[in-house]
Every structure is written in structure tokens, then in C-alpha cells.
A and B are shown apart, each in its own frame.
Chain A
């Protein structure tokens, strides 16, 4: 509730403030009416003491001071466009001059003789022609002064505003002192006397001079505007001079010295300012055309720089950059040579205004040419007299009519993209400005190229990651996802690739009531190994049902694989046929790490056998050298199959895990399930590796015979 009331009170206060503000607007008018009433009184009294005149001037000055805040009501004073400000100043100064000239000569007096009727009519005439003209001339001059303020403060420094305020203060002081010093002093006084009047007069003149030199806006006019403004300055100079010189002898002095002093000061400033502006405009005119051209170039550079950032595709970007480069600085033809860092050579990216024949004949990368020079020296080249520049020899041979060449590097912080060329048939057609322009444009182009490059790179990376993810999922499907449930044996299998995909392989199959365990490793790792791993799986899947001997199975697999494998690749495999009832194990090892037999209550042992990896020999030697062995296990015995990724797992000191350690971590420990033993080994390997990265794919299969 309270807060609510608070808000209402706040609103009420705002309304009150607004009303008060509105009343304030009418204050000057009210004050002026009171003064006019006083004038009427004095008219009849026929006599005005000096004190009354000064007091009356003080109130008239107050009217002006109260008018100053009112300027915010008129949009004309907020105008920021220079041409419109100039138009308004010229218009107002002509009107001020016309009003002043038409009303001059009207005798303004505060004392009159005759009957009441005569006096009244004289006063009315005086008021309508004299007083109102004075009001109008002053208001116009005040407005011009406010408009000039916008010009003076254009592109201002902090001191500019300070100087302008000082001028305003000096003018007010001068007006007060003028009134104090009296009509005669104001009419005939000079700034060269050591009186307060002379000093304040001098101060105003000095500050007028200081402020009149602030004409930064001239630079921002185009050639046509400069001409028009220059031609109109004499009009303003004439109008302001007329008012400035006429004011001392005019009726306005009779009406109010303060007002006359203000009008004199304002018109003097207008005169000085228009004179300075006129002179400066005259000095600007000869270079206006070139200045305009450069301004247009800068503006188009901005627009073009923005537009190239929209192109993200490289070839499109090259085309656009070259096209726009020809626009930025007017060139007869332009082309872009792209640098290929990998092969250290330049290729033509894009060209404009060149025929297909010329494009194909362009001398790219001629050791002593411009492109190399730009690449080496981190600089740009302006060859205005192409005939005398050694670097353009090849270019001139290619295109005889080349007169001038301009070449800038397109480079970002860490990358050199290429060289942007602009060429003209006429000699000496490029200047420092053109070079800077083309360089800024090239810098923008480099950012666009960088962005395009980064975008393409991240898209490519994204795509590859996606592909690898799919490959990994596909490969995971090649491995057994669930462990077979077979009475008499307990099985656990585990495989993890070092990269997204790997060359390790294991499978668990049933063949004639026997469990077939196959574990293998394709040489190398990554994608290539993964493809062959899939092939190995396919071959084994086909063969496993046709053979009941592991050595035969491996021999057949070798003959098939040898033909399909790369010369420098091989596959190691270990195959074991396990009879869960008899607890007999027949196994054969083709270059693979031997399996471990861990009989219950005894030491674990490596079950070595002769054998050659698949892919090394076409068949005969393989078959002669790969033996098949048999063992009879007991209840509670374990078999451990693994790939060399396990025994060669390295710790941060690059030491391998090794078979010895594998055997020792198993010895004298009892495990209940295959999974438990598997977890024990994985934990030990993890502990060994600590923070070292995985080096090779890692696979582990454990079989336990039931008790």
C-alpha cells in the first residue's frame, strides 16, 4: 500500500514539475510585457533616470537568459546535418538583415511630447515597428549563434566547448558593461581603451577570433556542397557586416544597450565565422574532387569489407575479393594469387577483366616475381613505372600494356593466404593512398579467408569424428556382446582399442559342443587395422564350422589372408578348442602371445608352441612350422588369452608391463569367477600405466573350468 502511495506521490510531483516547466516558458514573455508596461509609464513621465535605464537593461538581459533554455523546444537547433545547419544560418542571417534594414531609421524614443492621444499613438507605432523589430533581430541573431555553436563543436575537442562557453560569457559581460557605460560609450567606444568597456570589447573580439577558426565540418562536405557554401558565404558576410556596422547608430541602441551589444557581438561572430569559412572553403576547392574520390573509396571499402564476410565458401570468396578489389581502387584488371604453403607455390585464385587465354598465361611464381617478394618481405609493392621495375619483367612479357602494378599480401596473424594484384595500363596511376586502401581491403579479406578456413576445418573435423564414432560402433558389433552360457565353463571377454577403432579381435563360438576361443591382433592400429580385423573375423566365421583342429583352421585362414593382406602387414591369432566336459584344450598359436594356463593350486604358466603369424608366408612354411598342442585341465583351472597391448602397456617411464609381471600378479591368488580374474588383471595394468596414454589395443579373455 505504502509503495503504491509513494508512486502516486511521485507521479503527482512529476505533473507539478511539468506545469512549473511550462510556466517557466512563459516567464520571458511575461517579463517582456512588464517591461513594455514600464516603457508606457516612462513615455508619459517623459523622463528616464540613468539608474532606471540600467535596471531596465538588466531585466531585458534576463529575458534573453531565460530564452536560452527554450532552444531545446525547437528541432532546428538539434539538427546534426551540416548542409541543413548551413542552409538555416544563411536563411536566418538574410531575414535578420532584411528586418534590421527595413526597420532602421525608425526613430525610437522613450520620451515624447504632445497630447495623451498623440503620445499613445507614438508609443504604439514605436512598439509595433521599433520594439518588435528589435525583438525579432535579437531572436534571429540568438538563433544564428545557437546554430553556429553546432558548427564550431563539430568534431570538437574538449577545449573547443570551453572556448565557446568563454565566448558566450564574454559577450554577456560585454553587454552588461556596455549598458553600465552608457549609450555614448557604446556608440563611440573602441576596444583600445583601458576602460572596462574597452577590455570586455577586446576579450569578445579575441574569443570570436579563436572560435571562428573551428571549421572542421568543411572536410565533410562533398565538392558540390563546398562550391555552393562558398558561393553563399559573401551573402552572409554582407548581411552580418550590415547589421554589425549599422547597429551602433540604430534605434535598437535607444531601446536597449544590452540588446544592441548582444546583436553586435552575435553578428560580429557570424561575420568572422563566415569570413574564415569562406577562406578555408576556397583553399579546399582545388583538392575537392580528389578528396571526394578518396572519400567515396573509403566508404566503399567499408561496405565491401562488410560484404565479403558473408562469403564462406573459398572459391566464391576468392572471386568476390578480386572483384571488389578492382572496385575499391579503380583498376583495369585485378587478380588474386593464392599461396599453397604445403607445396610452396602460387596458384591463380580468381581474376577480373582478364580473358581466359590471359588467365592461363599468367606467370605464376617466377622466383624473382612480385608474389615471392611480397611473401618474403611482408610488404606491398607499388610499381608505377612497370617498365623500370625488375620484379615485373615476367608480367610485362605476359601482358605488354601493363603500365602500373599494385600488389598487397593477404595475410592474417599466422597465415599467408596470397597476393592481391591490381594493374592499370597507364603509368603512375597508383599512389600511397591506393596502396593503403588495397592493403586494408586485403586485411579484411584475410579475416574472411581465415573464417572460411576455420569453418571448413571444424566442419571436416566434425565429420571425421562422426565417421569414427560410426566406425567404432560398427566394430564393437563385431565382438561378442554377451558371454556364452556353457555348462562347465565360465567365460569373460574384454577389448578396448587405443584409438577409436583398432586391430584387436576375439570371438567365442560353439562348434560340436566345444567352445572355440579365438584371439587375434592385426599389425598396426587405427582404421587400416580395423578393416583387416573385420576381414579376419569374416574368414574365421566361415572356417570355424568346417574344421575341428585349430592348426588346420589357422592354416586355411593364412592361405586366404595372405592373398588379401598388404605385403607389410600380418595378423597374429591364437585358437583354442575347449571341451567343457573332458576339460581338454587343443590350441594352436600363429605368432600370437601364448596363453596362460593357471591350474588350481599351482603356478600359472605360459603355454608356448611353435607358430608363424598369418600373412608372413604363403602357406607351406607356415603349415610346417605351426604346431598344435593339447592340455588336460582340472576343475577350477583358468585359461588367460591376451594381446600384446596388455604385456606392452607402458608406464610414464616407458617401461612395459611384460609377461613376467602378468604371471606374478596371478600367482598365489585364488579367483572365484573368470570375471574376477579379468578385473584383477585390468586393475593391475591400469595401475602400471598410471597417467600414460594407451599405446596399443588391449584384449583379454578368461575361461574358468567349473569346480
Chain B
């Protein structure tokens, strides 16, 4: 049916970038969960999730981020979201995610934001 892919990319500053593609719903949420769990197991707590090629996100997909955010933040890291299409952003916005998560335009902005927090 509707596929979903997560591509992992490690940047030089120790930041992990996950690129989501396709449909993120109850059936595919497990894939994203596995990818995030892997980051945590590898002690990579600075995570950028790129939504550029994501077509759809359901409440189960949103729940994945909620499940990991506490763990990641407690370890001094964060999950920052970037490159959302208008449609995807609308979903996050309606639920009030922007008040709780860093939602940014580009990966570079996210990397920069990580660098800033590092300095502070």
C-alpha cells in the first residue's frame, strides 16, 4: 500500500538526521520507532527529523515523537523537526506541537540551533 522509509544520515558534528518519506501511520510508526530507538541505543541524542518527503502523518505517527522526546531531552539532546510541507505543519500546528518542539525550515537551521545550545 502506502510505503514509508526512514533514511539515517550522520552529520560531522555528531547530529543524526532522519529523513522521512511516504506515509507515517499506525502501520509504519514501528519503523520510525525502531530508527529513533537505534539513535538512543547508540547514544545519539541530537536528532533532526526532516519531513520534506513525508506525505501523511497520523496520530500514531505523532505519538512516536512524544514517546521519545523525554528520554532524549533528559540526556541533553533534542528532536528538532525541519522542512515540513504546509499540510504536515498544519497537523502539528493544530495540536500545538510548535509550543513544545523546535520546528524549523531547514536542516542547517536545526544544526545551528544545536550549536547554539551547546555554547550556552
Chain A contact residues, CB within 8 Å of chain B = 523-524, 566-570, 572, 590-593, 610-613, 615-617, 621-622, 624-626
> Can you pick out 7 interface pairs between chain A and chain B where the beta carbons lie within 8 Å of each other?
A523-B60, A524-B63, A567-B63, A567-B70, A572-B95, A612-B97, A617-B99
Total CB contacts across the A-B interface at under 8 A:
56
Which residues 1-59 in B have Cβ within 8 Å of A in the complex?
Answer: 26, 59
Q: How far is the CA of A616 from the CA of B64 in the complex (A)?
A: 12
Taking chain B's interface residues, is the majority helix, strand, or loop, or is none over half, making it mixed?
A: helix
Interface residues of B in 54-80 (CB under 8 A from A): 59-60, 62-64, 66-67, 70
CA A567 – CA B63 in complex, angstroms? 8
User: Which of chain B's residues have a CB closer than 8 A to the CB of A624?
Assistant: 99
User: Pick the contact of B99 from A524, A568, A593, A621 — CB < 8 Å?
Assistant: A621
Which of B63, B99, B100 has a CB less than 8 Å from the CB of A569? B63
* Closest partner residue, chain A, to B59 (CB atom): A523
Give which listed residue, A524, A570, A590, A625, contacts B26 with CB less than 8 A. A524
How far does the Cβ of A91 sit from chain B's closest Cβ, in whole Å?
83
Name the contact of A616 in the complex, choosing from B26, B60, B94, B97 (C-beta under 8 A): B97
Closest to B99 in A: A625
Shortest distance from the beta carbon of B72 to any chain A beta carbon, whole Å: 12
Interface of A is mostly: loop
Q: Are B95 and A568 in contact (CB under 8 A)?
A: no
Which B residues are within 8 Å of any A CB, using their own CB? Answer: 26, 59-60, 62-64, 66-67, 70, 94-97, 99-100
Residues of chain A within 8 A of B60, CB atoms compared: 523-524, 568
In the assembled complex, the Cα of A547 lies from the Cα of B49 at a distance in Å of 40
Given contacts A568-B66, A616-B66, A621-B99, 5 further A-B contacts (CB under 8 A): A568-B63, A569-B66, A570-B95, A615-B66, A622-B96
- Closest B residue to A529 by beta carbon equals B59
Residue of A nearest to B64 (CB): A568
Per the bound structure, the CA–CA distance linking A566 and B66 in Å amounts to 10
Are B59 and A616 interface neighbours, CB within 8 A?
Answer: no
Q: How far is the CA of A131 from the CA of B4 in the complex (A)?
A: 107
> Would you call B94 and A523 a contact (CB within 8 A)?
no
Q: Is the CB of B99 within 8 A of A613?
A: no
Partner of A567, one of B26, B66, B96, B100: B66
Cβ of A566: which chain B residues have Cβ within 8 Å of it? Answer: 63
CB–CB B94/A593 < 8 A = yes
Per the bound structure, the CA–CA distance linking A617 and B96 in Å amounts to 10
Is the beta-carbon distance between B62 and A612 smaller than 8 angstroms? no
Q: In the complex, which residues of chain A have a beta carbon less than 8 angstroms from the beta carbon of B62?
A: 523, 570
Alpha-carbon separation in the docked complex, A622 to B100 (Å): 9
In the bound complex, what is the Cα–Cα distance between A611 and B59 (angstroms)?
A: 17
**Which residue of the partner chain, among A570, A617, A622, contacts B63 with CB atoms under 8 Å?**
A570
Which 5 residue pairs spanning A and B have beta carbons closest together? A612-B96, A568-B63, A523-B59, A568-B67, A591-B95
Closest to B26 in A: A524
| Closest Cβ neighbor of B63 among chain A residues | A568
